Structure 1
Amino acid sequence: MKKAFLQLHLSVFLAGFTGILGKLITLNEGLLVWYRLLLTTITLFIFFRWQGTFKKLHWKDILPIGSTGVVVALHWLFFYGSIKYSNVSIGVVCFSLTSLFTAIFDPLINRRRFDVAELLLSLLTLFGILLIFHFDTQYRTGIILGIISAMFAALFTVFNKRLIRRFDTHTITFYELSTGFVVLTLVMPVYLHLFPSATLLPSVPDTIYLLILAWACTVCMYLLSMAALRKISPFTVNLCFNLEPVYSIVLAFVLFHENKYLNNAFYAGLACIVLSVILQMLRVAKGKTAG
């Protein structure tokens, strides 16, 4: 269990940089996600072939894995849209609602009883988001996009929990992200027609940021998080990922000086979110939940 929590928190730390990179990369959210999936898929294919761990699957097995990949592509699309329409701090804090959606989706999908404690902790997170939601109307579009992103993130984790019982994490990661890339490629002409971009090719700085995003914040992060999922519940995984805003916000304050645009309601909401994480960790440490 200790190894699983170490893997989980390392993946959360890496995830904390995704929002920063989303702000630094000048491409729109659609192209950003497309390049992230392209670079990640190529990297995983080379890496797994070199390791000898690449496995070919029947299309009946690829279908459930691939559909989960489409979910994660949608999560990324709305997540970066949230950042583009608001800022890093708002986008990553909205991601904290993932725990609330998980507390609802996991029992419904896996047919288990609702956990009252999970729901109460999630409501504490929701209260924090509501405090933030009302502090400035100019960020509401970004907040709405961030909430939708959290919904897809919760579905992704719940579906992955079921998949890792049948397949190894390497196979799941590759087929999920490669399918997400194929589907996004098919819809990109329509997307770019609706949301045109000044350029289709990344600049040199954008290319560097995209490589960091693909290699460190995608390949490493997802392999670590899915390894942790073997011993830790989806709810706890998503609740731990609520620490992602802490890392991202600190970096955003240092790099972009976003603290100038945030007020006391934001900090009060963030405090509620951090408290919900601490309380869940205490529950796990005391053995009141299976993790």
Structure 2
Amino acid sequence: MKKTFVLLHIAVLLAGFTGVFGKLISLNEYLLTCYRTLFSFLFLLVIVWIRKPQFSRSWGSIWEMGKAGLLISLHWVFFYASIKYSNVSVGVVCYCLTSFFTAFLAPLINKKPFNVTELLLSTLTLAGIGLIFHFDTSFRTGIILGVISSFLASLYTIFNERLVKKYESTVINMYQMLAGCIALIIMLPVYLYFFPAQTILPGVTDTIYLLLLALFCTVGLYVLVAETLKKISAFTVNLTFNLEPIYSILLAMVLFNESRQLNLSFYAGLLVIIISVVLQAGISRRKRLLTDL
């Protein structure tokens, strides 16, 4: 179990760079996600070809994995839109609401009773985000987009938790990236009609960033998450990912000097979120110790 938590925190560290790439890449949020899913699929295709894992090629299995791929792709579109309409700090902090949505949605979808502890910890996270949102109303659009993004991320994690128990993680992610890429390309003309882009093809710098984003922050990240979901609940995974803003905010301060846009209310809210993560870690450890006795 200790190794699983180490892998989870490595995944969180990789996730911390995701928002930074969203700021560095000049393409709009939709095109960015199109290329991210495309490059990620190609990397995963090579990995699957080399490893040759055993997996079902039935249309039912592919469709099941593809639906989750659509959710994660839409999550990315709204996530990057949140960053581009506000900043990296606001965009990644909105992601913390994923644990709040999971605490309510997971019991409903899985037809299980609500966990009071999870609900209380999620409420604490919500309070922290409330403090953060108080600091500047000019980021209202980015905040709304970020809330939608976290809702979609919650649904993805819940459904992905089922998939990892039946299929190999790299295969899951390969089909998810393929399905997401196809769906986004089909809808691309509609999106560009309402949100015209100056350029569709990425430049050299953007291509390098997209390749790094796909290889480390997508393939590496989501394979690690899929592996951890085999032993850790979706709620615990989502709550641990509340640490992602810390890494992203520190990087944004160094690279984009975003500290000028943040005030005491922002940091107070971030502290509340950290407390919720620490409490969850302590509760999870206590449960494991009681189980071992």
Q: After superposition, what is the alpha-carbon deviation per residue over 1:72-117, rounded to whole angstroms, capped at 9, x for unaligned?
A: 0010000000000000000000000000001011111111111111
Q: Which residue of 2 aligns with 1:195?
A: 195
1:159 aligns with 2:159: yes
Number of residue-to-residue matches in the alignment: 290
CA contact (8 A) 2:55 2:168 kept: no
Aligned counterparts of 1:73 and 1:99: Cα–Cα separation in 2: 19
SS at 1:57's partner residue? coil
SS at 1:135's partner residue? coil
Give the stretch that moved more between structures: 75-84 or 123-132: 123-132
Q: Which residue of 1 aligns with 2:280?
A: 280
Q: Which residue of 2 aligns with 1:87?
A: 87
Aligned counterparts of 2:14 and 2:262: Cα–Cα separation in 1: 24
Give the stretch that moved more between structures: 71-80 or 197-206: 197-206
CA contact (8 A) 1:54 1:171 kept: no
| TM-score normalised according to structure 2 size | 0.97
Q: CA deviation at 1:134?
A: 2.1
Aligned counterparts of 2:279 and 2:98: Cα–Cα separation in 1: 16
| TM-score normalised according to structure 1 size | 0.97
Aligned counterparts of 2:171 and 2:204: Cα–Cα separation in 1: 32
Aligned AA for 1:93? V
Aligned counterparts of 2:54 and 2:143: Cα–Cα separation in 1: 39
Aligned counterparts of 2:35 and 2:59: Cα–Cα separation in 1: 25
SS at 2:6's partner residue? helix
1:243 aligns with 2:231: no
Aligned AA for 1:84? K
SS at 1:113's partner residue? coil
Alignment of 1:188-227 (within 5 A): 188-227=188-227
Aligned AA for 1:117? T
Q: CA deviation at 1:55?
A: 3.9
Aligned AA for 2:116? V
Aligned counterparts of 2:85 and 2:283: Cα–Cα separation in 1: 36
Aligned counterparts of 1:56 and 1:183: Cα–Cα separation in 2: 22
Q: Which residue of 2 aligns with 1:253?
A: 253
CA contact (8 A) 1:69 1:175 kept: yes
Q: Which residue of 1 aligns with 2:129?
A: 129
Q: Which residue of 2 aligns with 1:3?
A: 3
Q: Which residue of 2 aligns with 1:78?
A: 78
Q: After superposition, what is the alpha-carbon deviation per residue over 1:137-174, rounded to whole angstroms, capped at 9, x for unaligned?
A: 11010011001100011111100111122212122111
CA contact (8 A) 1:29 1:80 kept: yes
Aligned counterparts of 2:248 and 2:287: Cα–Cα separation in 1: 30
Q: After superposition, what is the alpha-carbon deviation per residue over 1:121-142, rounded to whole angstroms, capped at 9, x for unaligned?
A: 1011111111122221110100
Q: Which residue of 2 aligns with 1:172?
A: 172
SS at 2:287's partner residue? coil
Aligned AA for 2:211? L
Q: CA deviation at 1:56?
A: 5.3
Aligned AA for 1:96? C
SS at 1:286's partner residue? helix
Q: CA deviation at 1:53?
A: 2.2
Aligned AA for 1:154? S
Aligned counterparts of 2:170 and 2:280: Cα–Cα separation in 1: 29
Aligned counterparts of 2:57 and 2:272: Cα–Cα separation in 1: 44
Alignment of 1:113-124 (within 5 A): 113-124=113-124
Query: Gaps spanning 5+ residues in structure 1: where?
Result: none
SS at 1:198's partner residue? coil
Aligned counterparts of 1:55 and 1:231: Cα–Cα separation in 2: 21
Q: CA deviation at 1:270?
A: 0.7
Aligned counterparts of 1:132 and 1:140: Cα–Cα separation in 2: 12
Aligned AA for 2:18? T
Aligned counterparts of 2:63 and 2:225: Cα–Cα separation in 1: 22
CA contact (8 A) 1:33 1:77 kept: yes
Q: CA deviation at 1:27?
A: 0.4
Aligned counterparts of 1:165 and 1:53: Cα–Cα separation in 2: 15
Aligned AA for 2:173? T
Quote the sequence identity (%): 53
Structure 1 runs (4+) deviating above 6 angstroms are none
Aligned counterparts of 1:66 and 1:240: Cα–Cα separation in 2: 26
